[in-house]
A and B are shown apart, each in its own frame.
Chain A
């Protein structure tokens, strides 16, 4: 049972990091290609939601995701779900995933933006002039240049996400829990401190391995 939860935490953390990477790369690339004024405006648009109360940001997703909520009505209008049924998204691993992506996304966007921002736009023009398709320009120019930011972002998103407590507490509805909730329960409710500590240490050990691998990957990617 605890192994299941640990596995679910790993899957959720890896999955949300990947989604954050894709969304973050798209937006960071777009921002880095705008004029200085637009860049500042867009960065503010990314950061200001991040400054608002964490609890408020997370529970507002309960409003959005619940049956009869805005997303449910949208799904009805678009005909994705039938008139008598609902999206049934809230209190599932998917809703926890949405909450994690939402609250950690700015932490992915900013480091990628930093690594893309200094790049001379002439490089992109050169790629286009030499006849590369947009997809190829993206793969061969943007992706390698964004790599340091992507790795840094993955560390500050993936590692804390694995031990997330508040998001599964609110969006998991007490059913779909992550390892952070089990640790908290051992200390706050059952009073089984040794077991809570053992879980904490297991989580740490797992994360040290992840950090070590990412660090190696980061170093191996340095231009020679």
Chain B
């Protein structure tokens, strides 16, 4: 019998997919439950969405989360873009070291990084609060951003930039009109990824928040410790849709721009002539 058509593999796969979706279904159903203790189903209501929307804790948490996510995504991009541009021309040990540092930030448990950053800020007497959370998120998320930008940078033919320089473009103009434009889809995708990861972060924020307003995931964690209510489910469903929309956008931008980028190379060289 051919393994390709073996029924066991199909059945097991269906079970694994069901396993991945089960909790999401439970949250979704739970967010409409009229029974606030969630012990048994008593009927459906949209009340909890209204409740969640007007809960000052949730609102403040969400606002803080958005501010942190925007700032840390921008900082991640600055670190990732400059780093990747250097990495492109680097050789030997320095390049290997850079790759190792990126890899380490992805693999090492977040607790280790967060405790190290906490210790560092304490040693240099830097007050914990929003700025330290932003820095902490950027330290971790710039690694993912770097991988995405590097992937695009590898496909950028240096001949394009040389051509621009030969045609009399200043280095800054070459960077803006050739390098940056080619990298733009990767920059957008990397920024959205860093933004999404920051929205979701618990550990780094928990270590570095000090006495400032907690971001939403930590507010939720506090609420869960107290008691699970349909309101938390409603917040969860809301965050779920937001994240899925953002990530779909990130993937869409990266893959369509990949196709466009290849076809428009020629037109970009033409536009250099025209100034």
Contacts and interface: CB of A to CB of B under 8 A. Distances in A.
Given A59-B232, A105-B20, A203-B112, A48 B244 contact: yes
A55 B21 contact: no
B86 interface: no
B243 A160 contact: no
Interface in A6-61: 23, 26-27, 29-31, 33, 42, 45-46, 48-49, 51-57, 59-61
B224 A59 contact: yes
Given A26-B9, A197-B115, A63 B244 contact: no
Interface of A: 23, 26-27, 29-31, 33, 42, 45-46, 48-49, 51-57, 59-64, 68, 70, 102, 105-106, 121, 124-125, 127-128, 133-134, 137-138, 141-142, 155-156, 159-160, 162-166, 169-170, 180, 183-184, 187-188, 193, 196-197, 200, 203-204, 207, 211
Interface string B1-45: 111101001101100110111111011001000000011000000
B122 interface: yes
28 contacts: A23-B19, A27-B17, A42-B17, A49-B20, A52-B24, A53-B220, A53-B236, A53-B240, A53-B243, A54-B202, A55-B220, A56-B235, A59-B236, A61-B23, A62-B224, A63-B30, A70-B26, A128-B2, A134-B1, A134-B3, A138-B3, A160-B109, A166-B202, A170-B221, A180-B111, A183-B112, A184-B203, A200-B112
Contacts of B126: none
Contacts of A133: 1
B21 A49 contact: yes
A62 B232 CA distance: 13
Contact of B13 (A31, A59, A63): A31
A56 B240 contact: yes
B28 to A, nearest CB: 9
A13 to B, nearest CB: 10
Nearest to A170: B224
Dominant SS among interface residues on chain B: helix
A32 to B, nearest CB: 10
B110 interface: yes
A156 B4 CA distance: 28
Contacts of A183: 111-112, 115
A187 B10 CA distance: 47
In the complex, the 9 A-B pairs of residues with the closest C-beta atoms, listed nearest first: A163-B109, A56-B236, A60-B23, A128-B2, A30-B13, A137-B3, A52-B240, A180-B111, A134-B3
Interface of B: 1-4, 6, 9-10, 12-13, 16-17, 19-24, 26-27, 30, 38-39, 106-112, 115-116, 118-119, 122, 196, 199-200, 202-203, 206-207, 217, 220-221, 224, 228, 232-233, 235-236, 239-240, 243-244, 247
A128 B122 CA distance: 63
Contact of A200 (B16, B27, B115, B247): B115
B239 A52 contact: yes
Contacts of B39: 68
Nearest to A124: B4
A157 to B, nearest CB: 10
Contacts of B1: 128, 133-134
B9 A155 contact: no
B239 A64 contact: no
Contact of B23 (A45, A57, A124, A156): A57
Contacts of A52: 24, 236, 239-240, 243-244
B2 A163 contact: no
Given A26-B16, A53-B217, A53-B220, 5 more contacts: A51-B196, A59-B232, A61-B23, A142-B3, A207-B108
